[in-house]
Structure 1
Amino acid sequence: MSKQRSMMFRPISQVLFWILVADLLTLTWIGGQPVEHP
């Protein structure tokens, strides 16, 4: 329990988590856009 709790409050893992969330949101948004041919 304490080991998992320290992971939750570790700043680096929190930053990586938010980067992953932002990446998923960006990919979802790009995937939802209509394809434009250059």
Structure 2
Amino acid sequence: MVSYENQWLKKRMAVLNLNKTRRHERFKKIVQEGT
């Protein structure tokens, strides 16, 4: 059970990090277009 929860947490963190980087890329694009 513990290992299963750890896997779930790792997956969740990976998804959150992916969303963060995606948002950052979009933000960079917006900034470049704005200038």
TM beyond 0.5: yes
Q: Does 1:15 align with 2:21?
A: no
Q: What is the percentage of aligned positions where both structures have the same residue?
A: 11
Question: RMSD over aligned Cα, in angstroms?
Answer: 1.6
Q: Which runs of 5+ in 2 are unaligned?
A: 31-35
Shift of 1:14: 0.2
Alignment length (residue pairs): 27
Could you list the runs of 4 or more consecutive aligned residues of structure 1 that deviate by over 6 angstroms after TM superposition? none
Q: Which runs of 5+ in 1 are unaligned?
A: 1-6
Q: Which protein is bigger by CA-based radius of gyration?
A: 1
TM-score (norm 2): 0.66
**In proportion to residue count, which structure has more helix?**
2
